[in-house]
Amino acid sequence: MRLRICTWNINSVRIRTEQVARFVREQAPDVLCLQEIKCQTGEFPAEAFAEMGLPHLKVAGQKGWHGVAIASRLPIADSPHLDVCREGHARCVSATVEGIEIQNFYIPAGGDVPDRALNPKFDHKLDFYAKLTAEMTRRDPKAPLVVTGDLNVAPGENDVWNHRYMSKIVSHTPQEVEAFGKLMGSLDFIDILREANPEPQKLASWWSYRAQDFRQSNRGLRLDHLLLSPGLRDAAFRTGAASSRVHDDVREWDKPSDHAPVSVDLVL
């Protein structure tokens, strides 16, 4: 069977429920991981998701900000909750679908100043990465695991519009790139989107609202990721090539999120 897993920073699920419904109709995800739902758990539009064909939900909401959710066509079971956010924000939700553990994160953006001593938000971001990396070092690499979400780091030179400039800007600084690399190495994760779209191809999943035409300005960042444990390598490459993409056309829709969905197809 094909299992399509998607991640999308929706930037307010209640505002964009109709966009989610359209995406589900057009792309048929089996599992949809959302970040920045910006509602409390009881305010999540569960009925609308059931009508879309995604009735199985795990939601971690928070008033006003943050919040994450997993919506699935298939039944879901509990997975270990990873307590890696020192501030107690709703930034992590987990579930198991078809025997695959899915950990969905909204990692802190980190503010504007890339200095841990001067900027508590940046310190929080790197602390979040350190805790998550420590957790992953204790995992069995053979176990099927997906770490996904808005991880708020563009790790490679071709994941930003201008490497030299962005190296001084939070999201692509050397400290963050190093933290992302340590997370990748902790379980020998597979960056499946990059595997499917090798270097030097430019990739982005986020574009600022400041640009009237995001394609013309072309200043995107790849902040949204699907990281697979080695235990999923066969499922990702069973057809011979990885199937993973950014659905950047969604960014063209009316009043979109500033992020586009990213998907992977696994063959189980």
pLDDT given for residue 119 in this prediction: 98
Q: Tell me what pLDDT residue 64 has.
A: 85
- Most distant CA pair in the chain: distance in Å? 50
Return the number of other C-beta atoms located less than 10 Å from residue 266's C-beta. 26
In this predicted structure, what is the pLDDT of residue 212? 84
Annotated domain spans of the chain: 76-261
The topology under which CATH files domain 76-261 is Deoxyribonuclease I; Chain A (3.60.10)
Q: Which helix (H) or strand (E) holds 215?
A: helix 214-217
- Mean pLDDT for back-to-back runs of 10 residues, the chain (268 residues): 98 98 98 98 98 98 95 96 96 98 98 98 98 98 98 98 98 98 98 97 96 91 98 96 97 97 98
Q: Evaluate if pTM is beyond 0.95.
A: yes
pLDDT at 74: 98
- DSSP letter string over 41-70? GGGS-HHHHHHHT--EEEEE--SSS--EEE
Give the CA angle between residues 125, 207, 118 to the nearest 5°.
Answer: 30
